Amino acid sequence: MIVSKEYMESIIDQNKRIDGRKFDEYRKIEVEYGISPKSAEGSARVKIGDTEVLAGIKMELGTPFSDKPDEGSIMVNVELIPMASSLFESGPPSINAIELARVTDRGIRESKALDFKKLCVREGEKVWLVFIDIYPINADGNLFDACYMAALAAIKDANFPVLEGDKINYKEKGKEKLPLTKMPISCTVWMIGEKFLVDPTQEEELASDARLSIVILENGKICAMQKGGSMALRAEEIFKMIDIAEEKTKEIRRYFK
């Protein structure tokens, strides 16, 4: 759809959205677990409206960082392939892809949802490295939430591969699940003009002035934030966005029960 920024703003000003939704209304969310049980330790597909994202977990053994000898680690990678949107180009990761990966990584890492200590095999020698690869295959807005949900669902789905001595048997799926101890949920609130909305379509994203991604735990604790867009945010605006995110994460949480 082609919509000019001015026209989009005039619609938002009337407290309406271009597809008839309310400002705080998500499109239909679908979470599917274990879409690639043979090739990945864990996998998931997340759809939000027409946006569709795949995530896969691969695990490897590696040496721990010297300051944290008893902790494993995660690595998040997002690839924005041209198939997903006409706005994406092939080649090295764009700044948007890097930001998506970093925000997803931070949400999982800083919430301490994944118990890194349980990823340790032998202290100071061998730990599990969890690779989270995220592939949006259709981008129609709100990739921040979609990528985050896909990563979380894939971790939830993942099992440790079988360890035979120091060798990994990828062919067999272990019984042990990845140590996901908490459920941090992300919600990105977008600002267009003076108004706040969630789950924008591609057109709304292009017309937006600022956004704030917020990751919230079950108990209401905020564990990660990322601000984007060219417009500065006032303190009261940030509080308002947090209130919206708190409300919406409660709603999204039921997809991860």
Under 8 Å between Cβ of 228 and 188: no
Which tokens belong to 26?
């998500």
According to DSSP, the residues that pair with 208 across neighbouring strands are none
Which tokens belong to 185?
């949920």
Q: Which of 85, 77, 91, 25 is nearest to 52 (CA)?
A: 85
Nearer to other proteins, 3 or 231 (CB): 3
Judged by CB under 8 A, does residue 181 bind other proteins? no
**Dihedral-angle region of residue 229 (phi above 0 means left; psi in -120 to 50 means alpha; beta otherwise):** left
Judged by CB under 8 A, does residue 206 bind other proteins? no
- What is the smallest separation between the CB atom of 59 and other proteins, expressed in angstroms? 41
Judged by CB under 8 A, does residue 1 bind other proteins? yes
Select the span of 1-9, 41-49, 189-197, 210-218 touching other proteins (CB under 8 A).
Answer: 1-9
Select the span of 2-10, 112-120, 123-131, 177-185 touching other proteins (CB under 8 A).
Answer: 2-10
Alpha carbons 151 and 42: distance in angstroms, whole number? 10
CA dihedral 201, 203, 205, 207 (to 10 degrees): -150
- What is the smallest separation between the CB atom of 112 and other proteins, expressed in angstroms? 43
Nearer to other proteins, 41 or 203 (CB): 203
Q: Which of 172, 221, 183 is nearest to 38 (CA)?
A: 172
With CB under 8 A as the rule, give the number of residues binding other proteins. Answer: 14
Nearer to other proteins, 20 or 91 (CB): 20
- What is the smallest separation between the CB atom of 235 and other proteins, expressed in angstroms? 32
- What is the smallest separation between the CB atom of 2 and other proteins, expressed in angstroms? 4
> Which parts of 3-32 interact with other proteins (CB under 8 A)?
3-4, 6-7, 10-11, 14, 16-20
- What is the smallest separation between the CB atom of 232 and other proteins, expressed in angstroms? 25
Alpha carbons 136 and 216: distance in angstroms, whole number? 23
Nearer to other proteins, 3 or 217 (CB): 3
Which tokens belong to 139?
């981008």
Alpha carbons 157 and 37: distance in angstroms, whole number? 9
Nearer to other proteins, 17 or 106 (CB): 17
- What is the smallest separation between the CB atom of 138 and other proteins, expressed in angstroms? 15
Q: At what angle do helices 143-157 and 95-110 cross, to 10 degrees?
A: 50
User: Which residues of the shown chain bind other proteins in the complex (CB under 8 A)?
Assistant: 1-4, 6-7, 10-11, 14, 16-20
